[in-house]
Structure 1
Amino acid sequence: MKSVTVDGPVAVVPTDRPVRMGLIGLGSMGRHHARVIREVEGMQLVAVADPFGDKHGVAAELAVLPDVQSLIDTGIDAAMVAVPTYLHEDVALALADAGVHTMVEKPIAATAESGRRVAAAFAQAGLVGCVGYVERCNPALLEMRRRIEAGELGEVYQIATSRQGPFPARIADVGVVKDLATHDIDLAAWIAQSPYAVVSGQVTHRSGREHEDMVVASGRLANGIVVSHIVNWLSPRKVRETVATGEKGSFVADTLTGDLTFVANGDVTSQWDRVAVFRGVSEGDAIRYAIAKREPLRVEQENFRDVLRGKPEAASLVVSMEEGVHTLTVVEAVLESAATDRTVAV
Structure 2
Amino acid sequence: MARNLRAGLIGLGMMGRHHARNLRALEGVDLVAVADPGGDVHGTAPDLDVLPDAESLIKAGIDYAVVAVPTQFHREVALTFADAGVHCLVEKPLAFDIGEAEEIARVFEHKGLVGAVGYIERYNPALQEMRRRIADGQLGQIYQISTRRQGAFPDRIHDVGVVKDLATHDLDLTTWVAQSPYATVGAVSTRRSGRNDEDMVSIAGRLADDTITNHMVNWLSPFKERITVVTGEKGALVGDTIKADLTFHANGKADTNVWETMASFRGVSEGDSVRYALQRTEPLRTEHIAFRNAVLGDPSDIVTMREGLHTVRVVEAVLESAQAGRTVSLSF
Q: TM-score, normalised by structure 1?
A: 0.93
> Within 5 A, what are the aligned runs for 1:324-335?
324-335=308-319
Shift of 1:273: 4.7
Contact between 1:23 and 1:49, CA under 8 Å: does it hold in 2?
Answer: yes
Query: 1:244 is matched with which residue: 197, 221, 230?
Result: 230
Separation in structure 1 between the aligned mates of residue 264 and residue 6 of structure 2, nearest angstrom: 65
Separation in structure 1 between the aligned mates of residue 321 and residue 54 of structure 2, nearest angstrom: 36
Name the structure 1 match of 2:242. Answer: 256
Name the structure 1 match of 2:156. Answer: 170
Query: 1:88 is matched with which residue: 74, 83, 95?
Result: 74
1:189-221 CA distance string (max 9 Å, x none): 000000000001000000000110000001000
Name the structure 1 match of 2:174. Answer: 188
Shift of 1:275: 7.4
**Equivalent position amino acid for 2:172 in 1:** D
User: Taking structure 1 as reference, are residues 22 and 226 closer, same or farther at Cα in structure 2, changes over 3 Å only?
Assistant: same
**Equivalent position amino acid for 1:318 in 2:** I
Confirm or deny that 1:108 pairs with 2:118. Answer: no
Separation in structure 2 between the aligned mates of residue 282 and residue 176 of structure 1, nearest angstrom: 38
1:170-201 CA distance string (max 9 Å, x none): 10000000000000000000000000000010
Name the structure 2 match of 1:220. Answer: 206
Confirm or deny that 1:344 pairs with 2:331. Answer: no
User: Taking structure 1 as reference, are residues 281 and 144 closer, same or farther at Cα in structure 2, changes over 3 Å only?
Assistant: farther
Aligned identity (percent) is 60
1:219-253 CA distance string (max 9 Å, x none): 00001100100000000111000000000000000
Confirm or deny that 1:119 pairs with 2:97. Answer: no
Q: Secondary structure at the match of 2:243?
A: coil
Shift of 1:272: 3.0
Shift of 1:276: 6.6
Contact between 2:255 and 2:270, CA under 8 Å: does it hold in 1?
Answer: no
Shift of 1:156: 0.5
Structure 1: stretches of 5+ with no match in the other structure: 1-14
Q: Secondary structure at the match of 1:291?
A: coil
Query: 2:27 is matched with which residue: 41, 44, 47?
Result: 41
Contact between 1:265 and 1:281, CA under 8 Å: does it hold in 2?
Answer: no
Shift of 1:25: 0.3
Query: 1:73 is matched with which residue: 54, 59, 62?
Result: 59
Query: 2:188 is matched with which residue: 186, 202, 225?
Result: 202
Structure 2: stretches of 5+ with no match in the other structure: none
Name the structure 1 match of 2:280. Answer: 293
Name the structure 1 match of 2:296. Answer: 309
1:243-300 CA distance string (max 9 Å, x none): 000000000000000000000112112203577799x862321000001000000000
Separation in structure 2 between the aligned mates of residue 174 and residue 26 of structure 1, nearest angstrom: 19
Q: Secondary structure at the match of 2:144?
A: strand
Q: Secondary structure at the match of 1:330?
A: helix
**Equivalent position amino acid for 1:345 in 2:** S
Q: Secondary structure at the match of 1:236?
A: strand
**Equivalent position amino acid for 1:167 in 2:** F
Q: Secondary structure at the match of 1:237?
A: strand
Query: 1:158 is matched with which residue: 124, 133, 144?
Result: 144
Q: How many residues align?
A: 328
Q: Secondary structure at the match of 1:266?
A: coil
Contact between 2:255 and 2:268, CA under 8 Å: does it hold in 1?
Answer: no
Shift of 1:316: 2.5
Separation in structure 2 between the aligned mates of residue 100 and residue 276 of structure 1, nearest angstrom: 60
**Equivalent position amino acid for 1:120 in 2:** R
Separation in structure 1 between the aligned mates of residue 309 and residue 319 of structure 2, nearest angstrom: 15
Shift of 1:84: 0.3
User: Taking structure 1 as reference, are residues 52 and 262 closer, same or farther at Cα in structure 2, changes over 3 Å only?
Assistant: same
Separation in structure 1 between the aligned mates of residue 271 and residue 190 of structure 2, nearest angstrom: 38
**Equivalent position amino acid for 1:336 in 2:** E
Higher relative contact order (CA 8 A, sep 6+): 1
Separation in structure 1 between the aligned mates of residue 79 and residue 107 of structure 2, nearest angstrom: 7
